[in-house]
Amino acid sequence: MSARLRGFGRFGRTAGTGESAETAETAGATAIAGTAETAGTTETAGDAGTARTTGRLWRSPRLRWPKRVALALAVLLVVPATTGAVALRVGYAGTIEDGTRTRGRDAIWLGHAWVDGRKKDADLRAFARQIKGTGLRDLYVHAGPLEHDGTLPASRYSRAAWLIAAVHREIPGVRVHAWLGDRLATEGPAGLRLERAATRANVVRSAAQVLDDGFDGVHFDLEPLHSGDSHYLTLLDALGALTKARGKPLSIAAHQIDPLPGQHAVAGALTGHPKWWSQAYFAEVARRVDQIAVMSYDTAMPLESLYGGYVAQQTTLALEVTPKSTDLLMGLPFYHENKLGHREKAETVAAAVRGTRLALGRTDLHREHFGVALYVDFAAEESDWTAYREGWGCTTSASCDQG
C-alpha cells in the first residue's frame, strides 16, 4: 500500500499499481497522436513532397519485415486492451444475487494515530458509532513499520494497550490486529530481505511480541512481494505455527491476481515490477493464513464500470482458489487521490461493492468466510461509509444507524 500511510504507510502501493504500464500506454498514445498531428500539419502546409517520400519509404520492400513487426506490435497492444475492456464492462453488468451481503467478517485498516497517543477516548466513541450495525469485525491497526532486520521497537505502538482495552469495552466482539510491514528489497537495495533466515526469525519474534502485548491477531503487509517468492511462504509457515499455538488469527494483505495468465512475468520483464501474483501463488499464500485481504485498488482503470468489472474478475479469481476455511476479503478504496494508477472517480466504493457482489453471486453464493476490507480510516469520506452500508449491508435487519 505505499509510502502509504502518508508517513507510516503501506509499503509499495505507489510503486506497484500499474503506473509503469500506464505510463508506457500514455507515452505510446502521445507518440501516436503526436505523429498524426505532425503529419497533418505537414500536409496542410503543402509539403506534399515529404508525404510522397514517406509513402515511397513505407512501400519499400526493405521495410517488409519492420512493417510486419510494427503491425504485430500494434495488434498485441491494442487488441488485448480493447478485448479486455469489453470483458470487464460485461463483467460489471448483470443482476446482483440475493444473499450477497455482509457476513459480519469485514475489516478496516486503521492509521498509526490509534497507537501513538494522538487518538483519544472521544475518537474511539465516534468510531464505534460510525461502524455500528456494519459487518466490521477486525481492525488492522498500524503498529509498525518493522525495521529492515525484522525487529520491532515497542515504542512504535506505545498506546496499544489503551486502544485494545477501549475497543473491547466499547465495541465488544471486534478484534484488534497489529498491522506490521516493511518495504522489501525486491526492487531496490534498501528494505527487508526475506531470503535471510535471521530476518525471518526476527519477524516471527516481532509477531510474538505484539501478541504478548495484547493484540488479538497479527496482520502483515510486505511489499513489493513478487509472485513465487518461496521465502515468503517459509515465513508464513513459521508465523502460522506461532499464531495457531496462541489461538490467534494470522492475516495478510495480498497483491492482485494475474488478469491474464502470466501477466506478472510480462510486467516484470518490461518494467521490473511484476505487479500481480499468479493465481497458483495466491492459492499457496491463502492456504497458509486465516485471512487474506486483496488490495483490489490502485488499478489504473479510467472508468467506474471498468474498475467494477476488474474487481469482479479479481473476486472470482480469488474465490476459485481460496480455501473455504480462510476468510477472503476484497479491498474497498476508502481514499481519494488522482494520480498514475488511481482515479478517484473510477475507483469508487460503490463500484467495488457491486463488482464484489456480482462475482460472489456467480462464483460462490453461499460462502460464509468472505467479506470486504476498507482502506483506510483517516482518508475516508462520509460518502464512502454510506456506499459501504447501503451496498454491502448490515448485520441486523435495521438500517446501519450511526446512533
The backbone torsions φ and ψ at residue 220, rounded to the nearest 5 degrees and listed phi first, read -115, 140
- Give the pLDDT confidence score for residue 394 in this predicted structure: 87
What does the CA dihedral 180, 185, 189, 195 come to, rounded to 10 degrees?
Answer: 120
Q: What residues pair up with 333 in beta bridges, in sequence order?
A: 375
The helix (run of H) or strand (run of E) holding residue 170 is helix 160-170
- Give the pLDDT confidence score for residue 66 in this predicted structure: 53
Write the DSSP assignment of 112-164 as a string of letters.
GGGTSS---HHHHHHHHHHHTTS-EEEEEEE--PPPTTS---GGGGTTHHHHH
311/218 Cα distance (integer angstroms): 26
- Give the pLDDT confidence score for residue 129 in this predicted structure: 97
187/102 Cα distance (integer angstroms): 37
* Cell numbers describing residue 10: 503501506
Contact by Cβ (8 Å): 199, 193: yes
297/16 Cα distance (integer angstroms): 11
Task: Look at residue 76 and give its three-state secondary structure.
Answer: helix
DSSP state of 96: P
Contact by Cβ (8 Å): 281, 268: no
Q: What residues pair up with 108 in beta bridges, in sequence order?
A: 139, 374
Query: 342-343 and 338-339: which strand pairing?
Result: antiparallel
Contact by Cβ (8 Å): 227, 276: yes
Contact by Cβ (8 Å): 40, 174: no
pLDDT digit string (tens) for the chain, length 403 residues: 643 443 334 443 333 333 333 333 333 333 333 333 333 333 344 444 544 444 454 445 555 555 444 434 444 444 566 677 888 988 999 999 999 999 999 999 999 999 999 999 999 999 999 999 999 999 999 999 999 999 999 999 999 999 999 999 999 999 999 999 999 999 999 999 999 999 999 999 999 999 999 999 999 999 999 999 999 999 999 999 999 999 999 999 999 999 999 999 999 989 899 999 999 999 999 999 999 999 999 999 999 999 999 999 999 999 999 999 999 999 999 999 999 999 999 999 999 999 999 999 999 999 999 999 999 999 999 999 999 999 999 886 555 554 4
Query: 291-294 and 338-339: which strand pairing?
Result: unpaired
- Give the pLDDT confidence score for residue 84 in this predicted structure: 79
The position carrying cell 464500470 is: 305
Neighbours of 23 (CB within 10 A): 14
356/101 Cα distance (integer angstroms): 10
Query: 342-343 and 175-183: which strand pairing?
Result: unpaired
The position carrying cell 500499474 is: 18
The backbone torsions φ and ψ at residue 95, rounded to the nearest 5 degrees and listed phi first, read -100, 135
- Give the pLDDT confidence score for residue 9 in this predicted structure: 43
The position carrying cell 475497543 is: 167
- Give the pLDDT confidence score for residue 397 in this predicted structure: 56
